[in-house]
C-alpha cells in the first residue's frame, strides 16, 4: 500500500514539474520576432510593385549575395545597392554628379512607412534611357538620373526625402520624371540643405537638373 502511494506521489510531482516548466518557458521577444519576421514588400490594400525576390532580399534582408546580384544586373557597385543610392550614373561626368539616396522614411498616401523606394541605375531596357539628356536647357547641368521603383502600384502617392549631400538648399533645381515618352517636371515639395522632397505617383526614371 505504501509503495502504491509513493508511486502516485512521484507521478503527481512529475506532472506539476512539467506544468511549471511549460509556464516558465520564455515567450518570443520583440527582437526575436524582428529577426525572424518576413518583411512585406507592401500593404495588400495598395498593391505591390513588380520587384524580384532578389531585389527584396537585397533591401529587406540585407543578403550580401542578393546585393551583389542586383549590383551586377544594374551595373552598380555593391555599396550603391547596399545604401540604396546612385552615386555614379552613366553618361554624367564624375565632377558634375550629385550622389542621391533615400534620406528618410517614405510616406505612402500620407502614412509613414519603413519600405523603400528602390534607386537603380538606368539600363538599356529602361524607358527613357536614350533620352536622358534630351531637352535640357542651355547652360543647365544634369547632376543625376536614376530609376525610382516604388514599393506600391502606380497611382499611390509616395513622398520621398532624397538625400543629396552636395545640395545647399539655395539652388535653382529642376526635377523631372520620364513619363509617356517625355520628361515631365515634378513639383518640389521641399528643398533644403542636403535634402529634396518629392511626391511620386509612379515608378520610372527621375533626373535632377541644376539651372
Q: Give me the pLDDT at residue 37, please.
A: 27
184 beta partners: 177
Q: Which residues of the chain have pLDDT under 50?
A: 2-45
Residue-level pLDDT at 90:
87
Distance CA 209, CA 144 (A): 7
What are the strands, taking DSSP E only, across 51-150?
A: 85-86, 100-102, 106-108, 111-113, 118-120, 141-149
What is the pTM for the complete model shown? 0.75
The whole-number pLDDT of residue 45 equals 37
Q: 3: Cβ–Cβ under 8 A, 6 or more apart, which residues?
A: none
Amino acid at each position: 500500500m505504501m509503495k502504491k502511494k509513493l508511486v502516485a506521489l512521484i507521478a503527481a510531482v512529475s506532472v506539476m514539474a512539467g506544468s511549471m516548466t511549460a509556464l516558465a518557458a520564455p515567450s518570443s521577444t520583440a527582437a526575436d520576432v524582428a529577426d525572424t519576421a518576413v518583411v512585406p514588400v507592401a500593404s495588400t490594400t495598395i498593391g505591390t510593385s513588380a520587384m524580384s525576390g532578389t531585389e527584396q532580399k537585397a533591401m529587406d534582408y540585407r543578403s550580401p549575395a542578393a546585393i551583389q546580384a542586383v549590383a551586377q544586373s544594374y551595373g552598380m557597385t555593391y555599396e550603391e545597392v547596399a545604401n540604396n543610392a546612385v552615386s555614379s550614373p552613366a553618361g554624367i561626368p564624375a565632377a558634375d554628379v550629385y550622389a542621391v539616396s533615400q534620406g528618410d522614411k517614405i510616406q505612402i498616401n500620407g502614412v509613414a512607412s519603413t519600405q523603400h523606394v528602390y534607386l537603380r541605375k538606368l539600363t538599356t531596357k529602361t524607358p527613357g534611357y536614350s533620352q536622358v539628356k534630351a531637352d535640357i536647357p542651355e547652360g543647365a547641368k544634369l547632376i543625376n538620373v536614376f530609376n525610382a521603383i516604388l514599393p506600391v502600384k502606380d497611382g499611390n502617392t509616395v513622398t520621398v526625402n532624397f538625400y543629396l549631400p552636395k545640395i545647399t538648399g539655395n539652388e535653382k533645381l529642376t526635377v523631372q520624371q520620364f513619363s509617356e515618352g517625355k520628361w515631365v517636371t515634378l513639383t518640389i515639395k521641399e528643398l533644403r540643405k542636403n535634402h529634396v522632397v518629392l511626391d511620386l505617383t509612379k515608378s520610372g526614371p527621375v533626373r535632377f537638373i541644376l539651372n
